[in-house]
């Protein structure tokens, strides 16, 4: 197996290897490798410890969505008019190098909000070029295996990251004080600075010829869906899931800690266990998908995801350690989704990906203005309702749309 992995890596582009290094280090810091369009995780807890209420947290996330929407058109339009995607990626990344440092020194939730809004701007400008670089780094024939290998290697860093975060939070005051989160953010600032320097120095250029530089923004967006029923259906599914996700995700970590009684150590075990599943399951799952097909494994993974979402709100506060199972099943779901992930990369043509991401960000940003506020209102009624709705949507909306897409349009 080791020889096969080495041989596979040798024939891949250098950028794919750099993507692995990037995400490995980011996960080691206790953060996430993907775009965070909201205040989630430890950051939402920090915001709560600074004195923000659930409605104020919802409002902050709404502002983030509004700012993100305003930046999304510019980001997509700019991405489709820049030939060298690597230069755009590095330039936009440089604007966000000090984001975690700003979070660490914030002394009130309004100041933290300003830092977060700037982070939203930098992330939105960075996201389209990052996505194109990631997708360009693998060929379609190697995509499932490449994604499984990426998930396995980066998860090794992800095992240590949550435990390091748990140690820092526990050593400097626990989850009840804002000061412990500042130490974690400083650590993440250091890791992010190192990642930026590595990518700046090592990434290869990615050049695309652009054929519609004179086309206006609205006309450019209208060209995305011409003749592609798969892309239209995928867009509908994406938007619906985003609405429910944006409604609930700002409150997930707060729910786990303040309602279910999870400690920093349990959070560390949850994160490390999630990554352990990735390490041992991602590569074998790539082979399983190759043998049994993307569709069957994706369907089974989705059903496991429904079970995981139910565990979240059914776990009694007297036994918060049971939420470790929630994380483990969520990771199993992600591994079984590798075929679906490959399909989502392929369903959007590379020639319109910048426009698509810009349009998606506009629509999702628009609903993201409403969704977190609605989530804050629902939280005030009963926090459990947020997760009941999320599980229901996953079972009766997201699953049928996935089946329709894969049965009609997947190869």
Tally of domains within the chain = 1
Q: How confident is the model at residue 222 (pLDDT cuts 50, 70, 90)?
A: low
pLDDT (tens digit per residue) in 247-265: 998 899 999 999 999 999 9
Q: Is 108 helix (H, G, I), strand (E, B) or coil?
A: coil
Predicted pLDDT of residue 38: 67
Q: How confident is the model at residue 144 (pLDDT cuts 50, 70, 90)?
A: confident
Predicted pLDDT of residue 304: 94
Q: How confident is the model at residue 409 (pLDDT cuts 50, 70, 90)?
A: confident
Q: What is the CATH number of the domain that holds 117?
A: 1.20.1250.20
Predicted pLDDT of residue 131: 85
Residue range 166-178: mean pLDDT, rounded: 89
This prediction has a pTM of: 0.77
pLDDT (tens digit per residue) in 293-333: 888 898 999 999 999 999 999 999 999 999 999 999 998 99
SS3 content of the chain, % helix, strand, coil (to 5): 80, 0, 20
Q: Is residue 217 part of a domain?
A: no
Q: Is residue 213 part of a domain?
A: no
Query: Rounded distance, CA 87 to CA 103, Å?
Result: 27
Q: Under 8 Å CB-to-CB from 29, ≥6 apart: which residues?
A: 161, 164, 187, 188, 191, 192
Residue range 338-353: mean pLDDT, rounded: 76
Worst-scoring range by mean pLDDT, 75-79, 84-88, 206-210? 206-210
pLDDT (tens digit per residue) in 60-82: 888 888 888 888 777 877 877 78
Predicted pLDDT of residue 374: 93
Closest CA to 172 of 181, 185, 160, 159: 181
Predicted pLDDT of residue 210: 56
Worst-scoring range by mean pLDDT, 119-133, 202-216, 233-247, 300-314? 202-216
Q: Is residue 214 part of a domain?
A: no
Of residues 323 and 351, the one with the higher pLDDT is: 323
Q: Is residue 216 part of a domain?
A: no
Query: Rounded distance, CA 245 to CA 375, Å?
Result: 10
Predicted pLDDT of residue 214: 47
Q: How confident is the model at residue 37 (pLDDT cuts 50, 70, 90)?
A: low
Dihedral sign for Cα 189, 194, 200, 204, please.
negative
Q: Is residue 211 part of a domain?
A: no
Percent of the chain's residues with pLDDT above 90:
36
Of residues 355 and 27, the one with the higher pLDDT is: 27
Q: Under 8 Å CB-to-CB from 222, ≥6 apart: which residues?
A: none
Q: Is residue 296 part of a domain?
A: yes
Of residues 192 and 82, the one with the higher pLDDT is: 192
pLDDT (tens digit per residue) in 228-242: 778 888 888 888 998
Q: Under 8 Å CB-to-CB from 292, ≥6 apart: which residues?
A: none
Q: How confident is the model at residue 1 (pLDDT cuts 50, 70, 90)?
A: low
Predicted pLDDT of residue 70: 81
Q: Structural domain of residue 244, as residue ranges?
A: 10-205+227-409
Q: Distance of CA 265 to CAs 162, 164, 251, 271, Å? A: 9, 10, 19, 10
Predicted pLDDT of residue 147: 83
What is the overall mean pLDDT for the chain? 85
What single string gives the DSSP state of each residue in 109-124? HHHHHHHHHHHHHHHH
Worst-scoring range by mean pLDDT, 40-44, 269-273, 382-386? 40-44
Predicted pLDDT of residue 135: 85
């Amino acid at each position: 197996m080791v020889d096969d992995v080495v041989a596979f890596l040798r024939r891949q582009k250098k950028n794919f290897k750099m993507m692995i290094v990037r995400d490995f280090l980011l996960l080691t810091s206790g953060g996430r490798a993907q775009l965070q369009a909201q205040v989630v995780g430890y950051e939402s807890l920090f915001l709560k410890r600074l004195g923000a209420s659930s409605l104020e947290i919802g409002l902050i996330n709404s502002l983030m969505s509004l700012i993100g929407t305003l930046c999304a058109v510019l980001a997509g339009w700019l991405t489709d008019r820049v030939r060298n995607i690597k230069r755009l990626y590095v330039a936009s990344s440089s604007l966000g190098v000090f984001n975690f440092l700003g979070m660490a020194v914030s002394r009130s939730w309004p100041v933290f909000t300003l830092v977060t809004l700037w982070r939203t701007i930098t992330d939105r400008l960075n996201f389209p070029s990052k996505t194109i670089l990631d997708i360009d780094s693998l060929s379609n024939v190697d995509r499932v295996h490449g994604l499984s290998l990426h998930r396995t290697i980066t998860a090794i860093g992800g095992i240590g990251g949550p435990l390091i975060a748990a140690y820092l939070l526990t050593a400097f005051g626990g989850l009840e004080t804002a000061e412990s989160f500042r130490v974690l953010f400083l650590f993440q600032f250091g890791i992010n600075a190192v990642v930026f320097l590595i990518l700046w120095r090592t990434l290869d250029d990615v050049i695309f010829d652009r054929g519609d530089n004179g086309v206006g923004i609205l006309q450019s967006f209208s060209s995305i869906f011409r003749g592609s029923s798969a892309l239209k259906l995928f867009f509908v599914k994406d938007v619906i899931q985003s609405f429910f996700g944006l409604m609930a995700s700002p409150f997930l970590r707060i729910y786990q800690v303040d309602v279910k009684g999870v400690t920093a150590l349990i959070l560390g075990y949850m994160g490390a266990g999630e990554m352990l599943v990735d390490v041992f399951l991602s590569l074998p799952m790539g082979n399983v998908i190759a043998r049994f097909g993307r569709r069957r494994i994706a369907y089974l993974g989705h059903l496991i995801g429904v079970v995981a979402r139910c565990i979240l709100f059914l776990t009694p506060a007297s036994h918060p350690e049971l939420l470790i199972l929630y994380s483990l099943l969520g990771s199993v779901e992600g591994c079984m989704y590798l075929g679906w992930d490959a399909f989502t990369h392929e369903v959007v043509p590379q020639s319109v990906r910048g426009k698509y991401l810009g349009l998606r960000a506009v629509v999702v940003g628009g609903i993201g203005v409403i969704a977190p506020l609605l989530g804050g209102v629902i939280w005030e009624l009963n926090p459990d309702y947020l997760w009941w709705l999320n599980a229901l949507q996953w079972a009766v909306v997201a699953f049928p749309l996935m089946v329709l897409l894969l049965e009609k349009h997947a190869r």
